[in-house]
Structure 1
C-alpha cells in the first residue's frame, strides 16, 4: 500500500483574519460602552443607596479657637453692654454734608450711642437726634429707656443724652486715646446698622488726621479713617482698639451708594472726651477763636489769595484788640492771615485747627499780610460762642 499523506490545513486568508479581529474588538468596545453607560445611569441611585446619611451627622471636633478669634469674642462681650440703640422721633430730617450714618424709618431716625458714665449719660452724634421731638434708647439687655438732651455741640457733631430711670445696671465704656494711634492697627466698630442691633465689624485704622465737615462750616480735625464696615445706623457707635477702649465715635462715610465702601470716619476720642465733659458740666462747649469773620474760601481763591481773608472782626474781640482789620466798605481786602504759630494757614479750617490745639486762654502768634507786607500779631484765644451770644 502506498504511504498515507496527512491532510493539509488550508492557510487562512489574512484579510479574513483582520476582519475577525476587528469584529472582536468592536464587540468588546460595545460591551464596555454598555457597561459604562449602565454605570453612569445607575451611579446616582447607587450613591444614594450606599452613601446617604439617614441619621444626624457626627460632629467633628473643632479644636481651640484661634487666639485672634478669642480676643475678638472677648472684646465684643466686654464692650457691647456699653453700646445702645438711639431712637429719635423726628420732626424733620437734617441734610448731612457727608453721608452721615443715621437710619430712618417711619419718621423715626435711629443711630447708636455709648454709655459714658454710671449716671446714665450717653454720647451720640448730633445729627442722629437733631430735630427730634422725643428720644429713647434700647440697652443691650433689651430694655427701652426714654432719654432727654443734656447738651449738643453741632460744631463737633456731638450730643449728650440722659437716660431716664434705667432698671438695667449701666456699664460705662472704657476710654482710650486717639493721640497715639497708628495707621494699620486693628479697629472694631459696634453699632446698629440698618437697625440690626449689636453688630460687630472689624478693620484697621486706614488713615489719621482727616478733617470732617460739620455744622456752620466747621471742621473737626484729627478725624480717624477706618475700613471697618460702617453703615446707616452706626452713627454715634464706638470705634475701638484691640484692648476694647473707645478711640473714636463713628460719624460718617464716603460712599456713592449710601452703603459702606470701606471709607468711614470717626471723631477722635480726645475731642469727644473734652466736648462731652463740657456738655455734661454746662450744657454747652466752648469754641476756641479770635473773633474774625472770614471770606468764603472759594471767593478768596477766585481773587488769587492764599490764606484767611478777614472780612470783619467781632466787637471787643481779641482780633479787634490786636489790631486786625476787616475789608473796607468798598470791598478792598486789608488783612489776610497766612500763618499761625509758624504753620502755614491756607483756610479757616487750618486756623481753627491751630486755635483748638493751642486752647482757650492761651496766645497764638499770627502771621498777617497787609499791603504785601507780613507782620506777626499776638492774639489771645477766647470762647467765641460767648462773643456770638452777647
Structure 2
C-alpha cells in the first residue's frame, strides 16, 4: 500500500476515533433544550375518558368524608378495611342521599362513636366541615344514616340506579377517601354478582356486588356507580391478606339500600322479618352432624309458637325441630333461613321443612318484626 494511501487511512481512523471521543461533549452542546419545549397538539380526549371525567365531576361533589370520634375503638365484624384510627377517630366515606341533608355511610364507620357517645362530623367536597347526628343504623345491612347540621351549600343527591339487572363485566366507578385522600376515583368492572356476605348477629346479606375497582381503607360507605353515574351499591368491605386492595371488593346492592335507608330516616331502625325463634349455634350443629337450623328456643306468643315449632328440651337436652328448607329452598345454615324470611318480608307466610323425630313435615309460619338477634 502506498504511503499516501496509508496516511489517508490512518487519518480517517484517527478522525473517527476523535469523533467517538468528542461525541458525549458535542451532542449536548448542539442539541440540549435550554428553553421550554413546544407543546405538541394532543387532539380530543377519547370518548371513554370524556365520559369518566364527566361522571366524576358530576358525582364527586355529593361524596363526603366521614369522621367518627369516640373514646375507644372496638372493631366490628365488617371492619375488614381497617380504616385509619388516629386519636380515637374512625374515618370513612358517605354520600348525600336527599335534599334534606341525609348522608348514607356504613354502620361500621360510625358504630363505635355511637356506642361510646362520641361525635360525628362530615367534610364536604367544598372543604366545609359540618357536624352530623346519627339518624339510625342497620347493622344487619351495614348501613347508617346521618343528618347534617347547618350547611352553607348542600351538594345534590346522587342519582339512584338498580342492582337487579347488573351484569358481570359492567364498568364500575368507586369514589371515596382511601387512606384519607379525599375524592379518589377508581375504576373497574363488576367481577361477580349475587355474592353473600356476613354482617352481624348471624345474618348474611345476599345479592352483594363484587368489583375489582380498587377499594381501600377509607372507602367504606362510599358509592359504587355505573357508567351512567347512578348509584348501584355502597362499598363496604374488601378481601385482602395485606389490608389493602387486592382486587376483590364488595358493595351492598342499591336495591337493598333504597329499601333500608328510607326506613332508617322514617323510624331510626329497620324492621327485620322473623318467625320468633332463637337458633342454636351452627358450630354445635355441625359437630352433631346436623344439616339445618336447630331451633334452640321458641319465643312465647310468636308466629313460630303459634305454628307449633319446638325448641330444645331444657331438661333432657333433646333436640326438637331442625329447619331444613324454607319456601322450597334448602336451609343448611342460619343465613339461608334469614335470607328466605327477608325475601318474604313482614306479614307474609313462609313454608318451612322441619325435621322432628326423624320425620320431615311441612309447617306454614307467619313472619313478624323481631329484634336483630332473633329470627
Q: Closer, same or farther in 2 for the Cα pair 1:311/1:32, shift >3 Å?
A: farther
Q: 1:78 aligns with which of 58, 70, 95?
A: 58
**Cα root mean square deviation, aligned:** 2.0
Structure with greater Cα Rg: 1
Q: Is the 8 A contact 1:149 1:160 kept in 2?
A: yes
1:71-110 pair list within 5 angstroms: 71-98=51-78, 99-100=80-81, 102-110=83-91
In structure 1, the residue matched to 2:30 is: 50
Q: How does 1:174-323 map to 2 (within 5 A)?
A: 174-323=159-308
Deviates more, 1:36-45 or 1:77-86: 36-45
> Counterparts of 1:55 and 1:70 in 2: how far apart (Å)?
32
The corresponding residue for 2:47 is 67
**Distance between the aligned counterparts of 2:265 and 2:210, measured in 1?**
27
The TM-score with structure 1 as length reference comes to 0.90
Question: Which structure 1 residue ranges, 5 or more long, are not aligned?
Answer: 1-19
Q: Is the 8 A contact 2:96 2:157 kept in 1?
A: yes
Please report the TM-score for the alignment, with normalisation by the length of structure 2: 0.93
Instruction: Report the count of equivalent residues.
Output: 368
Q: Does the Cα contact within 8 Å between 1:101 and 1:251 map onto a contact in 2?
A: no
Equivalent position SS for 1:156: coil
Aligned residue for 1:353, secondary structure, equals helix
Cα 1:159–1:108 change in 2 (3 A) is same
The CA distance in 1 between the partners of 2:250 and 2:321, in whole Å, is 35
Label 1:152 to 1:304 Cα distance change in 2 as closer, same or farther (>3 A).
same
Distance 2:7 2:300 in 1: 111
Q: How big is the shift at 1:35?
A: 3.8
Q: Which residue of the partner structure matches residue 325 of structure 2?
A: 339
Question: Hey, what's the Cα distance between the residues in 2 that align with 1:181 and 1:155?
Answer: 23
The 8 Å contact of residues 178 and 268 in structure 1, kept in 2 or not, is answered as yes
Query: What residue number does 1:6 align with?
Result: none
Q: In structure 1, what is the equivalent of residue 112 of structure 2? A: 131
One of 347, 353, 366 as aligned partner of 1:367 = 353
Instruction: Say if 1:314 and 1:387, in contact at 8 Å, map to a contact too.
Output: no
**Counterpart for residue 102 of structure 2:** 121
Distance 1:53 1:30 in 2: 36
Q: Does 1:152 align with 2:152?
A: no
Distance 2:18 2:206 in 1: 75
Distance in 2 of aligned mates of 1:43 and 1:240? 56
Hey, what's the Cα distance between the residues in 2 that align with 1:218 and 1:93? 23
Q: Distance in 1 between matches of 2:352 and 2:9?
A: 97
Structure 2: runs of 5 or more not aligned: none
Contact 2:194 2:207 in 1 (8 A): yes
